[in-house]
Every structure is written in structure tokens, then in C-alpha cells.
Amino acid sequence: MPSYKAPVEDVTFLLNDVFQIDRYNNLPGFSDATSDVRDAILSEAGKFSEEVLQPLNRSGDLEGCTRHDDGRVTTPKGFKDAYRQFGEGGWVGLAAPTEFGGQGLPATMAQSINEFMISANMAFSMYYGLTLGAVAALNVHGTDAQKKTYIPKMLTGEWAGTMNLTEPHCGTDLGLIKTKAVPNGDGSYSITGTKIFISAGEQDITENIVHLVIARIEGAPAGVKGISLFVVPKVLVNADGSLGARNGVSCGSIEHKMGIHGNSTCVMNYDNATGWLVGEENKGLNAMFVMMNEARLGVAVQGLAQSEVAYQNAAAYAKDRLQGRSLSGVKAPDKPADPIIVHPDIRRALLTIRAFNEAARALVVWTTLKSDVAHRSENAKDRQEADDHMGLLTPVLKGVLTDIGFANSVAAQQVFGGHGYIAEWGMEQFVRDARIAMIYEGANGIQALDLVGRKLPKDGGRAAMAFFGEVSAFAKENGADEALKPYLGPLTASLGHLQQATMWLMQNAMAKPDNAGAGSTDYMHLFGLVVMGYMWARMVKVANEKIAGGDAAPYLKTKLITGKFFMERMLPETSAHLARLQAGAATVMELPADAF
Amino acid sequence: MPSYKAPVEDVTFLLNDVFQIDRYNNLPGFSDATSDVRDAILSEAGKFSEEVLQPLNRSGDLEGCTRHDDGRVTTPKGFKDAYRQFGEGGWVGLAAPTEFGGQGLPATMAQSINEFMISANMAFSMYYGLTLGAVAALNVHGTDAQKKTYIPKMLTGEWAGTMNLTEPHCGTDLGLIKTKAVPNGDGSYSITGTKIFISAGEQDITENIVHLVIARIEGAPAGVKGISLFVVPKVLVNADGSLGARNGVSCGSIEHKMGIHGNSTCVMNYDNATGWLVGEENKGLNAMFVMMNEARLGVAVQGLAQSEVAYQNAAAYAKDRLQGRSLSGVKAPDKPADPIIVHPDIRRALLTIRAFNEAARALVVWTTLKSDVAHRSENAKDRQEADDHMGLLTPVLKGVLTDIGFANSVAAQQVFGGHGYIAEWGMEQFVRDARIAMIYEGANGIQALDLVGRKLPKDGGRAAMAFFGEVSAFAKENGADEALKPYLGPLTASLGHLQQATMWLMQNAMAKPDNAGAGSTDYMHLFGLVVMGYMWARMVKVANEKIAGGDAAPYLKTKLITGKFFMERMLPETSAHLARLQAGAATVMELPADAF
């Protein structure tokens, strides 16, 4: 059976030392999150993930969700009680507005503990994850009445939320949706249509479910300009806040999926369901994007989280499993064989995973801090810079962290040899669960297109220029630091590849957009490697400073070596990405469709 | 539901045009395989795979295998009848010796149709695949009586065979096995022990199962020098060939696995089972290696085969699914959206898979031809060269074709978006099934070590030098061919990387073996890319010649473009592999075990 230990020490290092979160105490909510409070939250969240959620992970996978003939859906044993505890513990609303019962703490704290929960039980984490997406959309675009009606109960965990976008014939291309909204004349609408792949669409965990649904109001323009967002509660809410009649929405079936069996993925049938407009008519996509950006960051964390728990178990196995002898001489003469951690190829695999995990975690903290600034700062320039960062890096995080997170789950499974393929060891579940993160919330190919087609050229490339400038400045400022040289050399070279790639896109993709499309995935991964390399350089600098200051904690030395591994073994990939991008679209587009 | 069409045209191109199999008509069995006979075999095998095996693939996955309380194992509905047809059709013994009822045709033919069967139903293919491994070991190391007793019935499909190596505490390190063999005094042995992960260990498909089992004879030396191989039939065979009493071997349980659910993976308990020595005492590992080399090539084909069937379904979906519009202008104005095959990133994904599949298929045909030469040629020099080739390339094929085959199954699944994650579409099964091929028959890390630690330095590097020489000579001979230049340039550059890597290993791994271990996986993949690039150059040369000769078949043009894609998009990876290898072992080995 797999195990899990929340990486509290690493998060603390990032919050306290690398990103010095105390510097942000001018932002609302931040001064409440003192060092002691942060420690307490991380420690309690770690315990909750380890003791309550992790034990339900494999049983939830085995049992899965069941739809009954009457449309009810039963979640795996223990999920309902765990969600009650989760809600009562205040975890759902940790970073949510205090006026609706949230604790108003930094999103950075919430995202950090989110990693713990996902590592422990990804299927479970989706129940509150989707809820928070719905809270975010309502909070930005809902009316005061809508906010008051729905948000508080969602934050206590009594109600949950969902996102309803996809239909059988359209996922990526939402302009094609057919679900209809007909005005009832009383301000409400009658919603009819079928939505698929609705995570947590129906469940027995909460007493109500707040569905956010995109639909087309009768007579609306075709395409994405005719999409509106509606709130459609499963159970209608009376004026006094009590639950009323059942609405016309039901679960038609649940999907049989590769993984995340503990989360119910539903076909939802809306049959003259009563819904209320959220935000403006025909501006539904904008409102939806609020949910989607939050959700994309959350999905990126899923990639990291599965990679982390897979790593922990692979490392433990490698220290325990005796097989073969070290190439450089017997290491455990008292045992029939050496533990496989002595083998360089096993270490290479483990370090590949770990060097990603720690950079990805830094990237998540850094980006969520920017999200906090974007949402909470009173300084317009700070907000704009943070917004630029978020816009540029959200697709990179979503695409890269989930692609590599999945690959790492596979690599960790490989460390187990044949046992990795056997269900009871739990490693194959991490692989199956991690797989979905590459697909939902915009498949990773769409993230790459979003990056090269929209985020990169936006505002004349302002966000990318700011990022390149920051990394260059860091390299320059620290150029004389001998201890940093082995890190800054490779980073600067890879930044050069990224800048060349960016230049190539500017020169070749305007006239021929296919050149952008054909290079988009390579560009996204090139970007991801550079930004993770930058995270490593910053972490190493801080680790060096702490060591120089007399801190003898072993993890600091480990940081230096793991970071070096990243530079030596992972950054070489940037030149391959550049070469592939520069190959352009000609060959890719040459075959007629029927030759495939 | 997924579909499958056997790639008969591509195999025919390889056999007839690229490798000109008719040139080998001096080898026994080859002259029987005339062009007409080959066409008939490929066509019939294609039909069998498409019509009999493919329809059982998903149902076999869903139903899986069941162990009953009495130890019997039931395979999925339809498997038994399909295996009977497969045996009666002569497919098991297609390339087996005629003296035992085989057809004696080239192994190259058998391996080509093996790809079809695996694409159609990987779990099914393992029943005859393991049987053929057992036949090979008995044929090389068994006594005449053993051969006559067991091989004919295995070739008709009446009996099956298995390989029993792994025990709970040892897989890779077979020196640790504990299964005991005690002489009975009558030439037989009494075998006692537990074996795990035994594919097809128990089933209801055949009336007898011929287990090949490694065990330690009482008093044998410790480690791998004390391992002997035994044949242990499930049902003892009377002197007249009829079935006698049940032997002391039974299935203790079956594993719950990530995939290949249609194949029973058993824990086998040997409890004073009667077995007979195969080959010499304490030379069991040698005898086993005969099975393992055959089996490794077969597993390599599993990687290709899953990648092929996944590609076919992804390409079909991409031509059918309407979503979004082409970046270069609407392509299907009469439809609500363009088919996603218009998008460069989708084409990039599909071409990545296809460029691998066709090179891998060429590599399998080339290498199996060498296997035919090694086993059948009367010319000692030819045999030695073919043996060198087989030894060097078997770990490359096993490691690279299964790693990339799995990655391609994932990429093909990605083309389906959310539907790829849903079981009924079948794509996730390809991923789950393909995953095992990276693990069994020697995990891919072991293949990489086998390559750098044994196959590369063997005989002073003779095999590698011969391969480098062949590719260099090809590039030189065709250096003036303008049409080949875009292919030979990248190939030569990548060959240079491989030679540099080889030199680096020679200079740095003798004194420090960890340098070999730390670079082994990168070296294996670097090797794989170069040898696939060579296959592409040869295929393109032949395609050019055929086009120049007036052949207007569309697949020839497709070959040129797909090969170009390989050069532009896949070979750039060789420089990254070289850089990682040259990073050496220092960083990898620096962390103490408890820091992981």
C-alpha cells in the first residue's frame, strides 16, 4: 500500500525563504498568516491529507462511484464523512472572502495545502476544487443576492459546485454548444440540454450542488459570442435560504474512466431546469474564464501532486528493495543484495522526478503569490504585472506540470518493476489518475496554442519581455557568485534558446500561423524548462545563503545537488525543443488528410 | 469502439523492396515463402487479427480472467475458441521446425504477423508468445525425447507454454531465487517453490501447460551459477503421449493488474512437482536466455503494435472530429467546424507516432531477418555478423520500442480529448496494455545496462563498430544523391552524437562504472534514434527509386514526408541525450540514500 507525507519543510522553505511571503503583509489577509499561523496550517493540512484522505485513495479507486436507477450517485465509502470534516475544518474557504464565511488567507496558502490533498487523494480533492471554481465565478460575476445565496454554504462544505461546459460534440470549441436557455419572464431561464464529462456532477456528499452552466439564450448570436453563464442549483433555494423543490437537472449516467474513480464524472441532463444568468448576457465565456484560470492552476498542481506522491513511494521502495549489486562495489555486504537505490539509473529516474517536483512547487507558489497580488493589491502597476505573469504562466503551468507530472508517475511506477503494474501497490493508480490532468480544463495542446497564439503576443509581448528581463537581471546580478555559476550558465543558455524561439515565432508565425501551431507544444515545454530552471537558480541562491549563515539542515545540501541535476540533465532538452520549433510547419502540413 | 486494419502494405514494402527478402532464398524455409505465399499469409493473418482477435480485445479487458476456488482459471469469453482457430490455422508454428509439425517459414514472416495479432489483442497474443518462447528453449536445450513430447502439441495449439523466473523477492536479480529441485533418483526432480508474475500460468484455453521453471538443485553453487532449468508440465505426459496425472503445480492467485486483463498473470505454487532438467545442471540461465532474447524481441513488437493501433484510431478520430477552425483559413465551410486533422499540433502528434511506427517496423523486420540468418545460415561469418547484430540491437529494440510505443499510446489517447479517458473508446486500454512492455522481460533500465555494460564492449566493440560502419558507408555511398541529402545530413549528425557518446563511455566508464549506469538510458535512446533514422534513410531511398521507376502509389510519397518529419523532429533529441550522458555520474551519485 502506498503512503504519503506532506512536504511541509519544502513549502516552508519556499514561503519563508525563497519568496519571503512576509514582504506581502500589506495585502489583505496576509498579515493574518503569520509564520506561526502558516506553520500550524501546513502541519494540520498535512495531517488531514495523510490521516484522513490518503487512506481513502485506493479504496475509492476500487469502489468507484455508482449511479442508481433513480439517478442518485453514491460516492466511495468514507468520502462523505471526510468532506464533512474538510468543510468543518474550514479548508474549503481558507482563502475565500471573509464576508461569505471564508478565512481570507492568502491563496498561496490554499494552493500549497491543495497540493497535499491532491497527493493524498486526487479524486476527493476535485469535489472541493470544482466548488472553489464555482465560488470564484460567482464572486466575480454574480449578483450580491447570488453570492449570498450560494457562496457561504459552499464554503462550509454543505453544498458543492460544478462547471458545465462540454457537450458530446464539443469540448474545446465551445462556440458549438447547443444547450438552450429560454427566459421564463421572471428573471429566470429555462435550461435544456446535455452536458458531458461533468466532474462531481451528482454525488451524495453535499445536500445541494450549485451547477454553473453555459448555454445559448434563444436568438443569441452564433459561436462564442452567444454564450451565457447560468447558475442552476440541483435543489432550488427558498428565499430564506432553505432548500426547496428539486430542479430539472439529473445525472443520466456516469462514465467508466481510466482513473479518478472516486470522483463521479457525469452526463448531466438539463430538462427545463431553472437557472439564473451570471454576469451579462452573451458574455458567458468571459465569466467562465475566471473559473477556468483558477481551475487550470489547480490542475497544474494535480500534475505536481501525483508526481510527488509517486516519487515518495518510489524512493521508499528503492531504499528497501534488494536486487543486484552496486557497479562500484558491494554496498550492503550483510544482505543478499544491495538496495536498488545504489544503481545510478534508479537514482537518475528518482532525481528526474524530484528536480521537477521542487521546481514545480516553487513555480506554483510564485504564481499563486502573483494571483494574490493581482486580486488583492491596491497598486495598479503591481496588479498589472501580476496579471501579466498569471496570463503568461497559467498555460505553461497547466501544460508542462501535467505532462511531466504524468511522465514522472510512469517513471516512479517503473522503479517498482513488475510490482508497479500490480494494483495493490498503488503506483498504477497514480498513473491513471495523473493522466486526466493532461486532458481536462483545456487539453495541453490547447494550452500550448493559448500560450503562443494569445498570451505571448498580448500587449506587444509585454509579459514575456518582463519575464525574460527578470531572469536576465537575476543572472547578471549574481554573475559574480562562483557558487551559482554552474547553475546560471545552463540557465542563461536555455533562456537564450527560449528567446531565439520567441524571435522565430515573431518572424515566422505572423504570416503563417501554422508555424505557431506546429511549434506550440515545443515552445510551451521550452518555456516550462526555463522557468523551472529559474526557480532552481533562486532556490539554490537562498540555500547557499542559509548554509553560509550556518544553517546545517540536510535539505539545503540536497537542494544544491538536485538543482545541479536539473541543470545538467533537464535543461539540455531546450536545444531540442528549439530545433523542432524551427523546423516549422511545412512538413507537418504537407500530407493530405487522407494520407494519415 | 476502436478498430484495426493490419498494415499489410507497409510490411510488403519492407519485405519486398527495402530488405528484399528474396535475396535470402538460400536459407532453409525462405524459398517456400515466395512473394505469393507471403501475400497470402499477410492477408490471412490480417483478416484473422481484424475479424477474430480485435473484437475480443475490449471484452477481454472488461471481463478479465477469473481464478476459481479450486485453482482453475477462466479466460475471457471467446479466447479459447480463438486460440483453437489460431492453432488450427497453423499460426503458432509458422516459423517452427518442420520436424515437429511447424511450417519452417522465416521468423521474419512470423514476427510480421505477430505485430498484427498484438495490435488486435495484446493479451491474447501472449498465450502463443510465451508458448513460442518455451518451444525455442526446448528446441535448443531439450533432449530429443523432450522435444518430441512437448513441441508438436504446443505448435498445434493444444498445449501452451510458460516461463517461470520471478519470485516475490527477486526479478532482475535471478541469483537470489529460492525454488528448489531435489533429484528423485529416476532422472526427474521434485520442484518446490513459489513463482510470481507468471503470464498465462493457468488458463482454460489448452489441455496442458508446459512450464519452464528455473530452480536451484540441492547443493548447487550460490547465485546465478547454481540455477538450472526444468520442464514441468501441468499434466504429466504418459509414454504414449497421452495425458496422465495432474502434476504438483497450481495457481495460487491471479494478479489485479493495470492492463492486459485478458491474460492471466499467476502466482504459481510448485509443491513437489515433477520436473525434468532442460540442458545442463547449473546452466539454466544460458538456456533461459534463449527464451529471453526471443521474448524480448516479441515484447519490442508489443510496443510497436500498441503504438500502431493507437495511431490508427487517433488518425481516424482526427479526420472525423469537428472542432475549431484551421489557423490558415476555414477548410470545411459546409460544416460547423473543421476536422481537427487541420490543426498543426494534431498533425505533429500523429506524425510523431507514425514516424516511429514505420521505422520501428523496419527495425523489427531487419533484426528478425538477422535472427533468421543467425539460426539458419550455413555461412559462419554471416551467422556471426547476424548474431552480433541481434545481441546489440535486442536491448535497443526492447527498451526503445516499448518506451516510445507507450508514450505514443498516450499521445494517441490525447488526440481524443476527454473521450480518450473514457473506457468505451478503447484508447485508455492501449495505454494500460502497452505499459507492461516497458517492465517485463527485463525492465527497460536493465535493457539499457545490458546494452552499455555487456553488448557494447563485447568482442572489443565489434558489433557496434560494424553498425557504425554500415551507417557511415550508406551515407557515403548515397552522399551525391540530392533527394537523400535532407535525410542523410541529420542522420550523419546524429550518428556523430552516438559515436561521441560511445567514445565517452569508453573513456569514462572503465574506471568508473557508475558513469555507464548514469548514462545508460540516454545511450539506449540515442542508439534507438540513430538506428531508426537509418531505417528511414533506407526506406526513403527505396521509395525514391520506386517513384523514379514510375510507381505512383500514394504511400511512397507519404514515406518521403514522414521520413523527413523524423529527421526534423525526432533526431534533434540525440544531442540532448549526448549532453545528459556526458554529465556523468557525479551529481547522480552524490546524495546519500537517506536524502531521497
Residue with cell 558489433: B463
CB neighbours of residue B3 within 10 Å: 12
Q: Which of residues 513-572 of A touch B (CB under 8 A)?
A: 513-514, 516-518, 520-521, 554, 557-558, 561-562, 564-565, 568-569, 572
Residues A200/A76, Cβ–Cβ less than 8 Å: no
Q: What is the pLDDT of residues B322-363, one digit of tens each?
A: 999 998 899 999 999 999 999 999 999 999 999 999 999 999
Give the Cα separation of B80 and A230 in Å (integer): 54
Question: Per the structure block, which three cell numbers stand in for A245?
Answer: 423543490
Residue B285, pLDDT score: 86
List per-residue pLDDT tens for chain A, 596 residues long. 899 999 999 999 999 999 999 999 999 999 999 999 999 999 999 999 999 999 999 999 999 999 999 999 999 999 999 999 999 999 999 999 999 999 999 999 999 999 999 999 999 999 999 999 999 999 999 999 999 999 999 999 999 999 999 999 888 888 899 999 999 999 999 999 999 999 999 999 999 999 999 999 999 999 999 999 999 999 999 999 999 999 999 999 999 999 999 999 999 999 999 999 999 999 998 888 777 777 899 999 999 999 999 999 999 999 999 999 998 899 999 999 999 999 999 999 999 999 999 999 999 999 999 999 999 999 999 999 999 999 999 999 999 999 999 999 999 999 999 999 999 999 999 999 999 999 999 999 999 999 999 999 999 999 999 999 999 999 999 999 999 999 999 999 999 999 999 999 999 998 899 999 999 999 999 999 999 999 999 999 999 999 999 999 999 999 999 999 999 999 999 999 999 999 999 999 999 999 99
Mean pLDDT of chain B: 97
B85 neighbors B52 (Cβ within 8 angstroms): yes
Going by C-alpha positions, the residue among A218, A320, A253 that lies closest to residue A72 is A253
A25 touches chain B (CB under 8 A): no
Cβ B572–A573 below 8 Å, yes or no?
no
DSSP string, A30-98: TTTS-HHHHHHHHHHHHHHIIIIIGGGHHHHHHH--EE-TTS-EEPPTTHHHHHHHHHHTT-TTTTS-G
Within the 328-387 window of chain A, which residues sit less than 8 Å (CB to CB) from chain B?
A: 328, 336-337, 339, 341-351, 354
Residue pair A313/A412 in contact by the 8 Å Cβ criterion: yes
Closest CB from A176, A576, A589 relative to B575 = A576
β-strand pairing of A235-237 with A228-233? unpaired
- Which chain A residues are closer than 8 Å to B445 by Cβ? 343, 345-346, 349, 414
State how far residue A105 is from chain B, nearest Cα, in angstroms.
32
| pLDDT the model gives residue B95 | 97
A358 in Cβ contact with A350 (< 8 Å) = no
> What residue type is assigned to position A13 of the chain?
F
Q: Is B99 a catalytic residue?
A: no
Taking the CA of residue A310 and the nearest CA in chain B, the distance in Å comes to 13
Cα B515 to Cα A564, B508, B585, distances in angstroms: 17, 6, 5
Note the pLDDT of residue A173. 87
Number of Cα atoms under 13 Å in the Cβ half of residue B502: 21
Cβ–Cβ under 8 Å, residues B106 and B372: yes
**Which residues neighbour A496 within 8 Å (Cβ) at sequence distance 6 or greater?**
none
ipTM above 0.95, yes or no: yes
- Nearest residue of A to residue B557, measured between CA atoms: A591
Indicate yes or no: CB of A323 within 8 angstroms of CB of B258. Answer: no
Residues in chain B: 596
**At B443, is the pLDDT very low, low, confident or very high (cuts 50, 70, 90)?**
very high
Task: Say how far apart CA A264 and CA A65 lie, in whole Å.
Answer: 6
Cα–Cα distance, B283 to A193 (Å, whole number): 69
CA closest to B414 among chain A residues? A439
Tell whether B594 lies on the interface with A, counting CB pairs under 8 A: yes
Check: pTM over 0.95? Answer yes or no. yes
Asked if pLDDT for residue B291 goes beyond 90, the answer is: no
Contacts of B554 in chain A (CB under 8 A): 595
**What distance in Å separates the CA atoms of residue B198 and residue B220, rounded to the nearest whole number?**
24
Structure confidence at residue A510 (pLDDT)? 87
Q: DSSP labels for A366-424? A: HHHHHHHHHHH-S-HHHHHHHHHHHHHHHHHIIIIIHHHHHHHHHHHHHHTGGGGGBGG
Cell of B267: 502466482
A480 grid coordinates: 559574480
Q: Tell me, what's the pLDDT at A116?
A: 98
Helices (H) and strands (E) in chain B, counts: 19, 11
Q: Which residues of A are the active-site residues?
A: 441
